[in-house]
Chains A and B, each alone.
Chain A
């Protein structure tokens, strides 16, 4: 189990509209939200939390480019230098025949590379267990969490009461 050494006070909401309203209230009150957990992507939450656009797609482009070059240059080397074979009377360097494989490897490198990158930057993967604040966040509840160093427990309690959280708890992770 990974340890963050943080004391987290969190509240659960029943509905994503309640959650969005609560996040807006927190922004208005200048409460520094530690994180928000939802069972599915909630539309319009990212701009409220001030999250930047992910740079994952840039990594994806680079992986795709690497896949493209690997396939194209690899085949070029194999079929012109290493082991030239004539297929169906075509020239050794037959670009149209390379394109389907180049396309496949571009897609493969981009998708696998992006998946691995996504897992690494999010601390996911085999053998990694992350602390979960509450089991029902993975099911049907929406959670706002505050770090007690940033927002005091009392402030958080009154905030959750005011915004209609159905459950408030504190947990060390």
Chain B
């Protein structure tokens, strides 16, 4: 019946992290000369999407386990319940982005700029979905997820107090989780198109929602492993054994390969079909963002694949911890290269004036190369911090959001018993054998 309490040292640590994040956001707003404060807004969007998505994935995996009658995770299901509570903060963060879209505070989304859409046939066609109303719907969807997350958590906590041998709580929660799954599966796709894919408004890929979603899922599993190792190190969760870590390690390994599969499928089809409006996406990234583009593949596939391939590396804290840290950074980098190039391009087009810049799609590759070139003020290298690779403001913002995420996580983790009581699967989880 232990509950978690944040050590004061760690509280200070997280607070310092949040302050670093705020300073980095302010710094990227004030000291950076990128047009329309694009560096601030891309960083803000990048980290908001990343951490909101991780919280969502925790809720979704919780629902999947529950619907599938799985029992192995029951001991530490409070970790996922607490992670899901970050959706409330995510709602505020993405709400700020949405207000920016509605009131024109930023120019992250090309389609939100009325003069650009008027001169662009493709954006006019897409305006049925890519418009401000739909963006607000996507924000409302976070609210729906959040309500489900609260529902799951409240029922689980109520089970601690009032649960009995009729397992009413559990059966009812299963009904709710089963209802959540179709909602979650459809809405995460819509949300990913709206938040991330529509930054490159002309481009589209039917693999995109899966691809970015698997990125978030891997990060969520990596976070779970890190947090459990940390909590065990603090003396909590004595019954979470190597068997549980082995299973989490298998998820980390398998879904890293799944991510690679989707990454490659998206890449190869576009490469092979060679349609200009699709290939421009990868052309930009390979020419102007080569380090980030290839590094994500190496970090997110090769490292976890070779580190976690063996049985015994999935059962050791050292290798699991290393793989988790590497993979979280890799998927954060992956989101960087999904968001940054399109936003830089949009900034360029807006500066050049509306109309002529959005002409022939085939010109976009060239135009975009120029955009980056001009943005870095004709620097000779394609490696320019904050434009084509993350710089210090980016890292600082990441630290800030990470600290905020952990703060919210620990705060909610401390509010309930660490191990859920009266869950019918608790005993199975305590005796789990992989």
Contact B268 A96 (CB under 8 A): yes
Given contacts A96-B267, A99-B268, contact A88 B311 (CB under 8 A): no
Contact A99 B264 (CB under 8 A): yes
Measured CB to CB, the nearest residue on chain A to B269 is A96
Contact A88 B272 (CB under 8 A): yes
Contact B311 A57 (CB under 8 A): yes
Contact B311 A53 (CB under 8 A): yes
Within 8 A of B (CB), among A85-101: 88-90, 96-97, 99-100
Cβ contacts A100-121/B at 8 Å (1 or 0 each): 1000000000000000000000
Cβ contacts B255-288/A at 8 Å (1 or 0 each): 0000000001001100110100000000000000
Residues of B within 8 A of A88 (CB): 272, 274
Given contacts A57-B311, A88-B272, A89-B274, contact A43 B433 (CB under 8 A): yes
Contact A97 B272 (CB under 8 A): yes
Contact B311 A96 (CB under 8 A): no
Task: Provide the bound-state CA to CA distance between A90 and B310, in Å.
Answer: 37
Q: How far does the Cβ of A65 sit from chain B's closest Cβ, in whole Å?
A: 12
Residues of B within 8 A of A43 (CB): 433
Residues of B within 8 A of A89 (CB): 274
Residues of A within 8 A of B267 (CB): 96
Task: Provide the bound-state CA to CA distance between A88 and B275, in Å.
Answer: 12
Task: Provide the bound-state CA to CA distance between A61 and B354, in Å.
Answer: 56
Task: Provide the bound-state CA to CA distance between A51 and B309, in Å.
Answer: 22
Residues of A within 8 A of B274 (CB): 88-89
Task: Provide the bound-state CA to CA distance between A100 and B264, in Å.
Answer: 10
Measured CB to CB, the nearest residue on chain B to A58 is B310
Task: Provide the bound-state CA to CA distance between A57 and B311, in Å.
Answer: 9
> Contact size class for A?
10 to 19
Task: Provide the bound-state CA to CA distance between A90 and B270, in Å.
Answer: 13
Q: How far does the Cβ of B433 sit from chain A's closest Cβ, in whole Å?
A: 6
Of B268, B310, B433, which one neighbours A97 at CB under 8 angstroms?
B268
Task: Provide the bound-state CA to CA distance between A88 and B311, in Å.
Answer: 43
**How many residues on chain B are close to A (CB under 8 Å)?**
10
Q: How far does the Cβ of B355 sit from chain A's closest Cβ, in whole Å?
A: 33
Q: How far does the Cβ of B305 sit from chain A's closest Cβ, in whole Å?
A: 12
Q: How far does the Cβ of B79 sit from chain A's closest Cβ, in whole Å?
A: 27
Q: How far does the Cβ of A172 sit from chain B's closest Cβ, in whole Å?
A: 38
Q: How far does the Cβ of B420 sit from chain A's closest Cβ, in whole Å?
A: 25
Residues of A within 8 A of B268 (CB): 96-97, 99-100
Cβ contacts B310-325/A at 8 Å (1 or 0 each): 1100000000000000
Residues of B within 8 A of A61 (CB): 309
Cβ contacts B295-338/A at 8 Å (1 or 0 each): 00000000000000111000000000000000000000000000
Given contacts A53-B311, A57-B311, contact A96 B433 (CB under 8 A): no
Measured CB to CB, the nearest residue on chain B to A99 is B264
Within 8 A of A (CB), among B406-421: none
Measured CB to CB, the nearest residue on chain B to A57 is B311
Within 8 A of A (CB), among B227-276: 264, 267-268, 271-272, 274
Cβ contacts A25-60/B at 8 Å (1 or 0 each): 000000000000000000110000000010001000
Task: Provide the bound-state CA to CA distance between A61 and B271, in Å.
Answer: 30
Of B271, B309, B310, which one neighbours A96 at CB under 8 angstroms?
B271
Within 8 A of A (CB), among B19-34: none
Residues of B within 8 A of A99 (CB): 264, 268
Instruction: Give the residue among A88, A96, A97, A100 with the most B Cβ atoms within 10 A.
Output: A96
Task: Provide the bound-state CA to CA distance between A99 and B271, in Å.
Answer: 13
Q: How far does the Cβ of A58 sit from chain B's closest Cβ, in whole Å?
A: 9
Q: How far does the Cβ of A28 sit from chain B's closest Cβ, in whole Å?
A: 23
Instruction: Give the residue among B272, B310, B311, B433 with the most A Cβ atoms within 10 A.
Output: B272
Q: How far does the Cβ of A114 sit from chain B's closest Cβ, in whole Å?
A: 15
Measured CB to CB, the nearest residue on chain A to B433 is A43
Q: How far does the Cβ of B43 sit from chain A's closest Cβ, in whole Å?
A: 32
Measured CB to CB, the nearest residue on chain A to B310 is A57
Residues of A within 8 A of B272 (CB): 88, 90, 96-97
Residues of B within 8 A of A57 (CB): 310-311
Task: Provide the bound-state CA to CA distance between A57 and B267, in Å.
Answer: 31
Task: Provide the bound-state CA to CA distance between A97 and B272, in Å.
Answer: 8
Task: Provide the bound-state CA to CA distance between A164 and B171, in Å.
Answer: 42
Residues of B within 8 A of A53 (CB): 311
Q: How far does the Cβ of A85 sit from chain B's closest Cβ, in whole Å?
A: 15
Residues of A within 8 A of B311 (CB): 53, 57
Within 8 A of B (CB), among A101-156: none
Task: Provide the bound-state CA to CA distance between A57 and B274, in Å.
Answer: 40
Residues of A within 8 A of B433 (CB): 43-44
Task: Provide the bound-state CA to CA distance between A155 and B286, in Å.
Answer: 74
Task: Provide the bound-state CA to CA distance between A122 and B272, in Å.
Answer: 46
Cβ contacts A47-79/B at 8 Å (1 or 0 each): 000000100010001000000000000000000
Residues of A within 8 A of B264 (CB): 96, 99
Task: Provide the bound-state CA to CA distance between A5 and B114, in Å.
Answer: 90
The 8 A-B residue pairs whose C-beta atoms are closest, nearest first, are A96-B268, A96-B271, A43-B433, A99-B264, A96-B267, A97-B272, A88-B272, A89-B274
6 more CB-based (< 8 A) A-B contacts, given A44-B433, A88-B272, A88-B274: A43-B433, A53-B311, A57-B310, A96-B264, A96-B268, A97-B268
Q: What are 20 contact pairs spanning A and B, CB under 8 A?
A: A43-B433, A44-B433, A53-B311, A57-B310, A57-B311, A61-B309, A88-B272, A88-B274, A89-B274, A90-B272, A96-B264, A96-B267, A96-B268, A96-B271, A96-B272, A97-B268, A97-B272, A99-B264, A99-B268, A100-B268
